[in-house]
């Protein structure tokens, strides 16, 4: 079994598309207006899909959202990435700090739909 994609199910799909494309500068490789977008994220792909449409596929109501997952991006320099993303309007929930137990320097932000995102770099 091979994981190929992470797909976020969103209500704010267009705002999130702009965030991942313009703020995080991920390369968009699939665009189906208002329905589905896909970005290259290193060796993985990040998909954005309508929560309402996915509920229709499942035959169920959309689940309540919350911090049940986080996207993690490795960067060369957390402080530089923090400043660059902040300058583009990213809303951080925690500024850069060391997590010695993880051997990482991290910062946390949210996309327009509230998805938790971590940027990190090794402390080594």
CATH of the domain at 112: 3.10.180.10
Q: How many domains does the chain have?
A: 1
Q: Which tops the pLDDT comparison, 123 or 1?
A: 123
**pTM for this structure?**
0.77
Q: 48 with 30: CB under 8 angstroms? A: no
Non-local (6+) Cβ contacts of 8 within 8 A are 16, 46, 47, 48, 49, 71, 111, 113, 115
First to last CA, the chain: 32
Close Cβ partners of 14 (under 8 Å, ≥ 6 residues apart): 34
Q: pLDDT tens across 15-27, in order? A: 999 999 999 999 9
> Which residue range is the domain that position 105 belongs to?
5-122
pLDDT digits (tens, 9 = 90+) for 23-45: 999 999 999 998 899 999 988 99
């Amino acid at each position: 079994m091979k994981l190929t994609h992470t797909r976020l199910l969103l209500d704010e799909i267009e705002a999130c598309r702009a965030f991942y494309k313009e703020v995080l500068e991920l390369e968009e490789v699939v665009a189906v207006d208002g329905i589905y977008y896909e970005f290259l994220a290193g060796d993985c792909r990040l998909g954005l899909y309508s929560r309402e449409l996915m509920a229709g596929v499942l035959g169920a109501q959309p689940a309540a959202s919350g911090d049940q997952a986080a996207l993690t991006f490795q960067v060369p320099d957390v402080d530089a990435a923090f400043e660059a993303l902040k300058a583009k309007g990213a809303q951080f929930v925690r500024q850069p700090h060391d997590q010695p137990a993880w051997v990482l320097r991290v910062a946390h932000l949210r996309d327009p739909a509230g998805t938790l995102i971590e940027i990190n770099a090794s402390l080594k």
